[in-house]
Amino acid sequence: MSTEPSSPLTLPRVQAANCRSDFDLTATELVTLLELAADVKRHPAHYRSTLRGRIVSLLFEKPSLRTRITFEVAAKQLGGDSILTVGPVGGREPVADVARNLERWTDLIVARTFSQTTVDDLARFCGIPVINALSDKYHPCQALADMQTLKERWGGWQGHKLAFVGDGNNVAHSLMLDCARLGLHFACICPPGYEPDPAIVARAGEFAALTGASIQVTNGAEAGLSGAGAVYTDVWASMGQEHEAAERARLFAPYQVNAELMSLAAPEALFMHCLPAHRGEEVTEDVIEAASSVVFDQAENRLHAQKALMLMLVDGPAV
């Protein structure tokens, strides 16, 4: 018996042409995308021809396991394919020329870059969708997978609280923006001087005012973790910050997610991490390996959330 749907799928669309940052999705589109991601996960066979004949360009300036593999697998499982290029984008020729070449050959660009400017320039100079697969300012694909994971565990987002511990970085920015639009309380707990971008915090506050969520930025773990049903952390020094690693290790040591810190959150709080994790630094082995850890659920959901994002940006099969 065939597992294909009896009629062609009608897929929702994103009004913006790209996903350069979390701002390219409206609050309604965010919810719709997460609903689609859940359906893609439940019924993968229904979507196996939806991007038939489509080619995805993967431009990776940074090393990757989860992002690269999940986008490659996603393209293939949706009926398309991908081509990977590793190295500086715009190194041998201007980013504008890279974009205008790729739009002639492929149907979607997925860019993992050091600079948000590179993502924005790719989108500015080409007529095919561009997805931000990580930049210095945002990590929207990770946040989408995280929101999907939390809904699977909690059944919804409204009224729950997520606490992010560590650097107010790209992951913190994307989580904050998605939480605010979904009605999920968000706290960012970080050392002085490592707070998230004030402009992004302000925008998240505007979204939160519409959904009843709250946005908190604090240097105190106890205040930020109070009532948190999920505790999230990331590496202390991201790629490109290796020269700061020793100083960051000293400043961030009090913010290590260990059993004592987890005890400040709500009972049975989930532990989250975007991976790769440095066990013994930002998180202890017992916490990341605990039954409450959902780090590999998050990693799995990268595949499904990114499939949904691609489906909402690309105009169906090519043939």
Q: Which amino acid is at 159?
A: G
Torsion angle, alpha carbons of 280, 282, 286, 292, to 10: -160
For the annotated catalytic residues, the residue numbers are: 112, 139, 142, 234, 274, 302
Residue among 255, 293, 296, 253 nearest 275 (CA): 296
Angle between helices 170-182 and 27-42 (to 10 degrees): 100
CA distance 184 to 181: 8
CA 207 to chain centre: 18
Tokens standing for residue 30: 């965010």
Tokens at 284, concatenated: 């202890």
Name which of 216, 209, 151, 159 is nearest 184 in CA terms.
Answer: 159
- Look at the chain and count its residues: 319
CB contact at 8 A, 270 and 294? yes
